[in-house]
Homo-oligomer: A and B are copies of this chain.
């Protein structure tokens, strides 16, 4: 049997970053404004810090300006909303994100709604979600859009394919199911959205030509759940203790890679699959902010 093709998110995101850097160079040469992304980080959670740093670093790499607003974990909701309002009004800032999760005393929904849709490069505001659903120009949520970009760059034929999306989160599964159903390319899939209440999960996933897994359970998808010749996209990323590693842990996806990969024509590795594409997608949204302003 042929080896599966790895959907290499790291390499693909590097290509996208190079393209973005070239575009930024042209903007500069034309005397235009370089996109400026701001990120608000509340508290000092390790994973959030890592994600935000990666985003700031990626901005730097492509030549975007970036600003990191670090707020104490004890910041009040009102103070955070003030910071957001400041960024909404700051003509220098083209787009910004508020790194989630937030401390429990802050209402995430209120925060999401406070971000101006015009600067909402995470694509979390209802207006952007609605515009996405209606096929209007919108800031698309980073992870689903990163997956579309990966499918596109690997020339995966999606039209008429049976696609199963596992997980109905607002950030990944639900928008992914909407985007893959649309009359676009990639798109035009016959999408089934599977979730915790689905009764016949294995039967459904085993019929998928394209399987996108975003359920947040390490190695949940096993070989018997996957069709021979499927394309598998694994959104999960989990740290699991591993004494044999210098770091003391290893990273696992939602898919049991070793046994699933041999059945696939294409599969994303974890890490190095969807993760880097999410950041590339955020950068693409940020570039869009200047073409809109």
Binding site for B on A (CB under 8 A): 109, 125-136, 159-160, 162, 168, 170, 174-175, 177-178, 181-183, 188, 190-195, 197-200, 204
Please list 11 pairs of residues, one from A and one from B, whose beta carbons are closer than 8 Å in the complex, sorted by A's number: A126-B126, A126-B130, A126-B136, A127-B127, A129-B134, A133-B174, A133-B175, A133-B178, A174-B181, A183-B195, A191-B192
- CB proximity of A189 to chain B, nearest CB, Å: 8
Nearest CB to that of A124 among chain B residues? B134
Asked if A197 and B183 sit within 8 Å, CB to CB, the answer is yes
The 10 A-B pairs of least Cβ separation, nearest first, read A130-B130, A126-B130, A129-B130, A192-B192, A188-B197, A190-B198, A160-B199, A126-B131, A160-B197, A127-B127
Complex-state Cα separation, A127 to B116, whole angstroms: 12
Cβ-defined partner of A178 (8 Å) among B125, B174, B183? B174
The count of identical subunits is 2
Contacts of A126 in B (CB 8 A): 126-127, 130-131, 133-134, 136
Asked if A193 and B190 sit within 8 Å, CB to CB, the answer is yes
- CB proximity of A216 to chain B, nearest CB, Å: 15
- CB proximity of A242 to chain B, nearest CB, Å: 34
Complex-state Cα separation, A199 to B198, whole angstroms: 23
Asked if A133 and B136 sit within 8 Å, CB to CB, the answer is no
Give 5 new A-B contacts, CB below 8 A, not counting A126-B134, A129-B129, A130-B131. A125-B130, A126-B126, A133-B133, A183-B197, A191-B193
Complex-state Cα separation, A129 to B128, whole angstroms: 10
Assuming the contacts A127-B126, A133-B129, A200-B162, asked whether A181 and B190 have C-beta atoms less than 8 A apart, the reply is no
Contacts of A188 in B (CB 8 A): 195, 197
Asked if B177 and A181 sit within 8 Å, CB to CB, the answer is yes
Contacts of A125 in B (CB 8 A): 130
Contacts of A194 in B (CB 8 A): 190
Complex-state Cα separation, A174 to B177, whole angstroms: 10
- CB proximity of A225 to chain B, nearest CB, Å: 15
* Residue among A126, A170, A178, A182 facing the most chain B CB atoms (10 A cut-off): A126
Contacts of A135 in B (CB 8 A): 170
- CB proximity of A186 to chain B, nearest CB, Å: 12
Cβ-defined partner of A199 (8 Å) among B170, B175, B190, B195? B190
Asked if A192 and B190 sit within 8 Å, CB to CB, the answer is yes
Contacts of A128 in B (CB 8 A): 130
Contacts of A134 in B (CB 8 A): 126, 129, 170
- CB proximity of A204 to chain B, nearest CB, Å: 7
Nearest CB to that of A127 among chain B residues? B127
Complex-state Cα separation, A128 to B131, whole angstroms: 10
- CB proximity of A214 to chain B, nearest CB, Å: 14
